[in-house]
Amino acid sequence: MIVMKFGGTSVKDVAAVQRLIGIVRRDPRPRVVVVSALSKVTDALLETGRLAEAGDANGAREAVRALHRRHVDMAALVSQPNRRAELVAATDALFAELDAIVHALAVVEEVTPRSADAIVAFGELASSRIVAAALEDAGIPARFVDARKVLVTDAAHGAAQPDRPATEERTGSLVRPLVDGGVVPVLGGFIGSTAGGLTTTLGRGGSDYSAALFGAALAAEEIQIWTDVDGMLTADPRVVGSPRVVPRLSFDEASELAYFGAKVLHPSTILPAVGLGIPVRILNSHRPEAKGTLITAQADGGVAGPVAIACKRGVTRIDIASSRMLMAYGFLRRVFEVFERFRTPVDVVTTSEVSVSVTIDDRRALDGIVGELRAFADVSCDDGMAIVCAVGERLRGDAQLATRILGALEGLPLAMVSQGGSRTNITVVLPDALVKEAMESLHRRFFETSPDPEAAPRGAAA
Ligand code: ADP
Ligand code: ASP
Ligand code: MG
């Protein structure tokens, strides 16, 4: 059994859904299909929530009408009249419900994270109904399954965490019997609900995570992430001119890259696959014949050095200095307890005898954090920084690597440099305005001279 997840651009219009049908048809294995909202719909729904919160009832309802029209137009995919009428009626009902919610929220001018989740879930609910009907119409037995009944989460609206055992049980009772009966279940990604039935979402880009959770619950043989690029690329194509495809990655490499900005994969996706050793494949729905990227437990052979570089932009650096840190123990604990109390993850950390520097990308609690740190340290913050990192399982095989990376970044003002004990990445922090320059320079150094003359064979000298 395989799980096939199609992202927003892979369901964005009639032509995209037709490609999806072709891809699902080609694979004879039992399949589960997971889809995102149509491209840009999640953004539009979030904007609708903002309009409602601002009390702009007309603006919010006009936005709902536009989304309704776009989804009804997609029903043209379906040629069988009864099926099309059924799809249009289901879509009308969904958007009538959304309209009522948005109207009510605009009256009270308040959109809580809980109501925002209720609004934003309509994107995946609508797209999954359309794709299920389109597959059926194309002669592939398929059935819409409300993902909120299957994916059980905690109540952290906007970034809910899955309840894996409960989700496994629901997948077993609601999804597996369909697959066993030769039917393709079609579920929306990204959405779930609490045990009490409140709609939740997994955070932006979370459909990948849903696919992996369903894949793990079904012990699938493979999880496929169908998107709009040829796989994991050696760098973000929006930052670097012509990155290459990385054919093979280890779970660790993929999760580091995802965490440090490779948007093609939600950072949590790999997690459910790791325990069960389920391979994850990233594939291009525009070029289904391309090989894509295969992510498995083991790294591939090949060349030492980074497999790819990534960047995370718009992060804040916080410098925390204490003269009392000299020879003091307990200082780091106090510092990190503050971040823990404010539930703010720290990405990069460097320390010296008298100071600690950290980066965060979630600034919501920054004022509170700085206030508490100032009770025992001097603190300064710098917005507008970025993390650039080179990732590779075999970085440790190359004694010259740090020199080569820093050499490629020569002349750029590096605010922090860090290499972890596991050495699957080397990370630098620098002003955001210099990210493009840094990434291009690293990319030229490691991926555009092929083969890299200084690279040792991968696997040599660990
Ligand atoms: P989907 O809608 O299919 O989930 P996303 O927009 O979430 O697609 O992710 C795909 C996009 O991720 C690509 O179009 C690309 O711009 C971006 N991206 C960033 N870094 C990378 C990378 N290293 N490799 C591939 N794509 C990347
Ligand atoms: N539709 C959601 C988003 O845009 C989830 C996803 O696409 O993975 O964030
Ligand atoms: Mg995505």
Digit-coded pLDDT (tens) for 187-200: 999 999 999 999 99
Q: How far apart are CA 256 and CA 234, in angstroms?
A: 13
pLDDT value at position 301?
A: 67
Ligand 1 binding pocket includes 40 (Cβ within 6 Å): no
Q: Are the CB atoms for 309 and 235 separated by under 8 Å?
A: yes
Phi, psi of 221 (to 5 degrees): -85, -15
Closest CA to 71 of 17, 7, 34: 17
pLDDT value at position 452?
A: 44
Ligand 1 binding pocket includes 232 (Cβ within 6 Å): yes
Which ligand neighbours the alpha carbon of 229 most closely? 1
Q: How confident is the model at residue 420 (pLDDT cuts 50, 70, 90)?
A: confident
pLDDT digits (tens, 9 = 90+) for 20-75: 999 999 999 999 999 999 999 999 999 999 999 999 999 999 999 999 999 999 99
pLDDT digits (tens, 9 = 90+) for 213-227: 999 999 999 999 999
Tell how far the Cα of 263 is from the centroid of ligand 1, in angstroms: 5
Which ligand neighbours the alpha carbon of 211 most closely? 2
Is the pLDDT score of 450 beyond 70? no
Which ligand neighbours the alpha carbon of 286 most closely? 1
Ligand 2 atom at minimum distance from 37 CA: 1
Ligand 1 binding pocket includes 263 (Cβ within 6 Å): yes
Report the DSSP pairing between strands 2-6 and 31-35: parallel
Ligand 1 binding pocket includes 229 (Cβ within 6 Å): yes
Phi, psi of 461 (to 5 degrees): 45, 75
Q: Is the pTM of this model over 0.85?
A: yes
Tell how far the Cα of 74 is from the centroid of ligand 3, in angstroms: 21
Span 292-314, average pLDDT: 87
Report the DSSP pairing between strands 378-391 and 308-321: antiparallel
Ligand 2 atom at minimum distance from 203 CA: 9
Ligand 2 binding pocket includes 392 (Cβ within 6 Å): no
Ligand 1 binding pocket includes 7 (Cβ within 6 Å): yes
pLDDT digits (tens, 9 = 90+) for 93-147: 999 999 999 999 999 999 999 999 999 999 999 999 999 999 999 999 999 999 9
